């Protein structure tokens, strides 16, 4: 019965339209026929429906994942090595076979290179579900609605950046460099006492250590937190600052170049205990905690992105609206088992 009424209504609309066009020379029978038959063409779902396009949001997450954290782009992207949306599995070359000068003993001893696969699990970052009530959907502008979701997406980006930084941390004593400057007050909430300020020779020492490790001279980076960066700038002479500023590249987040390092900065980088152990982003700052600048070469660290999803539950009867949440699988690692190519310049305690 419903279908019959629907078809009848479509016929009447087509007939009325044809009558209106008759004075302009259109055949009413032809117009009615075309209009009636057009009513059978299914309309694409969602074309005129207001609301949030999940696919577009997922694409937006991926495109903006490193916004305000451009330092992450200065690493190897190994997303193609992600298996099952969560596991990174990639080969890591073993030691070279060796070279003998003027070999006299034949046949030469045959050795098989022992390659080690680099395998690690990406972290899963999920936002807390957020409710958009029916009243909000109609009363808020579209921009405000998307802003609510964009805030959650930004929080995921920030959290993932903090954990990737931690995964890149320098871990061995030979890869930690202590600051050597004059006494300055500790600046993190929770710290007490004084620390030795950053000096230019600390960055010069980092350059020498990477040279000793035979790390490529190109694509070296140094990431400072805001306060240690200020100590770095204060240590520059007018001429040094001019030369340093010549390397400015705002689009890439690079504020200058010094000793072969592209210098970058963000609000926070890494924290270490007095024993030289890096704190996770979740661990609290203690009185003796020390901040650090991270040093790396682009091919010595990596990042990976797995599954990116946006979940929606429309018309929740007990919530009187729609519920949304995000999930991003992402992470990083040092690229080599021997940990070469990654250093940290760490605050030293001062009287």
pLDDT tens, residue by residue, 150-165: 888 888 999 999 999 9
Average pLDDT over residues 304-318: 90
Question: Above pLDDT 70, what percent of the chain?
Answer: 79
pLDDT higher at 235 or 64: 235
For residue 79, give the nearest of 298, 300, 306, 301 by alpha carbon.
306
pLDDT higher at 134 or 252: 252
Contacts of 236 (CB under 8 A, 6+ apart): 200, 244
d(C-alpha 210, C-alpha 75), whole Å: 16
Q: What is residue 27's predicted lDDT score, i.e. its pLDDT?
A: 57
Q: What is residue 315's predicted lDDT score, i.e. its pLDDT?
A: 87
Reduced DSSP (H G I as helix, E B as strand, rest coil) percent helix, strand, coil of the chain, to 5: 35, 30, 35
User: For the ranges 89-98, 101-110, 239-248, which has the lowest average pLDDT?
Assistant: 89-98
The pLDDT-based confidence of 95 (bands split at 50, 70, 90) is low
Query: Taking a C-beta distance cutoff of 8 angstroms, is the pair 155, 326 a contact?
Result: no
pLDDT higher at 349 or 28: 349
Query: Taking a C-beta distance cutoff of 8 angstroms, is the pair 326, 310 a contact?
Result: yes
The pLDDT-based confidence of 115 (bands split at 50, 70, 90) is low
Indicate left, alpha or beta for 153 from its phi (over 0: left) and psi (-120 to 50: alpha): alpha
Does residue 238 surpass a pLDDT of 80?
yes
pLDDT digit string (tens) for 18-75?
A: 555 455 454 555 544 544 444 444 443 333 234 567 777 777 777 777 777 899 999 9
d(C-alpha 305, C-alpha 123), whole Å: 10
For residue 162, give the nearest of 88, 79, 268, 82 by alpha carbon.
268
Average pLDDT over residues 210-220: 97
- CATH number (3.40.50, 1.10.10, 3.90.1690, 1.10.1660) of 51-92+115-351 reads 3.90.1690
Q: What is residue 93's predicted lDDT score, i.e. its pLDDT?
A: 62
Q: What is residue 92's predicted lDDT score, i.e. its pLDDT?
A: 67
The pLDDT-based confidence of 107 (bands split at 50, 70, 90) is confident
Average pLDDT over residues 271-292: 97
* Helix H or strand E segment including 147: helix 142-167
CA distances from 210 to 7, 77, 218, 324, 347 (A): 78, 22, 11, 46, 20
pLDDT digit string (tens) for 167-182?
A: 999 999 999 999 999 9
pLDDT higher at 65 or 78: 78
d(C-alpha 39, C-alpha 213), whole Å: 73
pLDDT higher at 44 or 330: 330
Does residue 185 surpass a pLDDT of 60?
yes
CA distances from 102 to 95, 99, 106, 111, 225 (A): 22, 10, 11, 19, 52
Which segments of the chain belong to CATH 3.90.1690?
A: 51-92+115-351
For residue 301, give the nearest of 121, 169, 116 by alpha carbon.
169
d(C-alpha 140, C-alpha 50), whole Å: 13
The pLDDT-based confidence of 8 (bands split at 50, 70, 90) is low
């Amino acid at each position: 019965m419903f279908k019959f009424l629907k078809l009848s209504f479509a016929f009447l609309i087509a007939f009325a339209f044809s009558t209106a066009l008759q004075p302009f020379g259109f055949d009413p029978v032809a117009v009615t026929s075309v209009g009636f038959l057009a009513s059978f063409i299914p309309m694409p779902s969602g074309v005129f429906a207001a609301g949030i396009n999940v696919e577009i949001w997922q694409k937006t997450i991926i495109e903006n994942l490193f916004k305000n954290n451009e330092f992450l782009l200065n690493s190897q992207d190994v997303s193609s090595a992600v298996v099952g949306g969560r596991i990174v599995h990639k080969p890591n070359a073993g030691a070279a076979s060796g070279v003998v000068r003027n070999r006299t003993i034949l046949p030469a001893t045959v050795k098989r290179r022992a390659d080690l696969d680099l395998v690690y699990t990406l972290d899963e970052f999920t936002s807390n579900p957020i409710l958009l009530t029916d009243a909000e959907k109609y009363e808020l502008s579209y921009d405000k609605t998307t802003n609510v979701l964009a805030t959650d997406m930004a929080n995921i980006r920030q959290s993932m950046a903090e954990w990737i930084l931690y995964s890149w941390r320098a871990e061995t004593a030979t890869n930690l460099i202590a600051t050597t400057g004059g006494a300055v007050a500790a600046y993190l909430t929770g710290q007490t006492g004084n620390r030795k300020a950053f000096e230019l020779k600390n960055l010069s020492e980092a350059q020498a250590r990477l040279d000793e490790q035979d790390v490529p001279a190109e694509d070296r980076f140094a990431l400072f937190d805001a306060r240690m960066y200020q100590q770095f700038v204060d240590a520059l002479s007018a001429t040094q600052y001019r030369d340093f500023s010549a390397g400015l590249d705002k689009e890439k987040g690079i504020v200058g170049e010094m000793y072969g390092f592209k210098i970058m900065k963000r609000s926070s980088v890494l924290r270490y205990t007095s024993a030289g152990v890096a704190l996770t982003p979740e661990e609290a700052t203690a009185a003796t905690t020390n901040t650090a600048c991270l040093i790396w070469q682009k091919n010595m660290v990596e990042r990976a992105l797995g599954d990116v999803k946006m979940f929606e539950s429309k018309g929740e009867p007990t919530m009187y609206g729609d519920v949304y949440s995000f999930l991003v699988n992402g992470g990083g690692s040092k690229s080599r088992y021997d940990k070469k190519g990654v250093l940290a310049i760490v605050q030293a305690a001062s009287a």
